[in-house]
Amino acid sequence: MFTGIVTEVGKVVAVRRETDRLAFRIEMGYKDLIEGESIAVGGACLTVVSCGEDWFEVEAIVTTRSRTWFGDLEVGDEVNLERSIQLGDRMGGHFVQGHVDAVGEVCNTKTEADALLLDVKVPDEIDELTIPHGSVSIDGVSLTVNETPAPNVLLVALIPYTLEHTTLGNLKTGDKVHLEGD
């Protein structure tokens, strides 16, 4: 379980594609990761298969690849990271399982005052779960749905802190995002 509060932005430093296998190495600042630990990468719960002082590796199996944008990852890409919650941790955001339900697409961005408004086209399975002022996880970030301006479109407002501390501030029209409905 996760909270959707990103605690680190990692950088993809290696991608290994084999016939039916996808693995990637991510540089990050966590100092005490261990093999077998669950970690949310872009909102998808993955298992640390190996790690060092400032990096870890994960693999995306066929079912994970079928519902994520991991197949498009390239060296240099940045990803949102969150370690799983522990009993006794503060609970910010909302409960996020790390089970990416679908991939959405940014269909519009607009700056309004101090916020970035992000319209995301979502598939039916997310649309049917989405209500104004409900929660959604986009690339692992816990967000409030401000409105649903059209069928299969949700709008979220990103505050400056989120823009500075996650990858969401880099999104542009046409970009793919991981979605977890609430």
Contacts 24+ apart (CB under 8 A), 160-167: 160/114, 160/115, 163/116, 165/6, 165/9, 166/6, 166/9, 166/80, 166/139, 166/141, 167/9, 167/42, 167/78, 167/79, 167/80, 167/139
From first to last of its 182 residues, the chain has per-residue pLDDT tens of: 899 999 999 999 999 998 788 999 999 999 999 999 999 999 999 999 999 999 999 999 998 999 999 999 999 999 999 999 988 888 788 888 898 999 999 999 999 999 999 999 999 999 999 999 999 999 999 999 999 999 999 999 999 999 999 999 999 999 999 999 98
pTM of the model: 0.93
